[in-house]
Amino acid sequence: MLANLTGWHALIILAIVLLVFGASKLPALAKSVGQSMRILKDEVKDGAEAPATQTTPVSDYPVT
């Protein structure tokens, strides 16, 4: 889908984004997207480093 994206398509998308959000809100939008990507990257990295733990079901414990 994105393989056919040309320079003209990118300019048209940028113009539509400018019309929808306005030029004054674009820096804040870019900052929030960057922060979201940084958080996602950190969470994925932390999830890959955490060892997988196996829990024992409650039904396997002896009843006293």
**Dist. CA 62–CA 55, nearest whole Å:** 16
Kindly report the pTM of this predicted structure.
0.48
For 2-35, the pLDDT digits (tens) are 678 788 988 998 899 889 888 888 888 889 999 9
- Looking at the domain assignment, is residue 33 inside a domain? yes
CA dihedral 10, 15, 16, 17 (to 10 degrees): 90
Residue 57: pLDDT band by 50, 70, 90 thresholds?
Answer: low
Number of domains in the chain: 1
Q: Is the pLDDT of residue 62 over 80?
A: no
| Residue labelled with tokens 């539509």 | 16
- Provide φ and ψ at 36, rounded to 5°: -65, -40
Q: Is the dihedral of CA 5, 10, 15, 19 positive or negative?
A: positive
Domain assignment of residue 64, yes or no? no
Domain that holds residue 15: 7-46
The reply to whether 2 falls in a domain is no
